Amino acid sequence: MERAELERVRDWAVKKLTTGEEPPWSFYRHMQLREALDSILQGMAATQPMEASPQPASRSGVSLRLVETADRQDSAQCHLGQPETPQLPM
């Protein structure tokens, strides 16, 4: 289905909810329909490709680089969130 058609059906369900002329049992079905359509439309909006933002001219030649730390054991423990283990005497 196209986005426009989904929005049209959602608007119809909202109109049914706001008029109050529908029987009580249908209120919950219209509410479920509106909520389902809201979720579908939000999902469609989230998966739309974003337009590429122009890069500033001052950063065009800059690239990321990896930096090695002096103590690899400490950084690994920090990132893994593991508690520090004490060194046992030999």
Summarised one tens digit per residue, pLDDT across range 51-64 is 655 555 555 666 77
H/E stretch holding 28: helix 24-46
Identify the helix (H) or strand (E) that includes residue 83.
none
- Position 32 confidence tier, pLDDT thresholds 50, 70, 90: very high
The dihedral sign for the CA sequence 18, 21, 24, 27:
negative
Q: What is the pLDDT of residue 50?
A: 66
Region 5-9 average pLDDT: 95
Q: If we measure between CA atoms, which residue out of 8, 15, 13 comes closest to residue 34?
A: 13
Instruction: Give the relative orientation of helices 3-19 and 24-46 as an angle to the nearest 10 degrees.
Output: 150
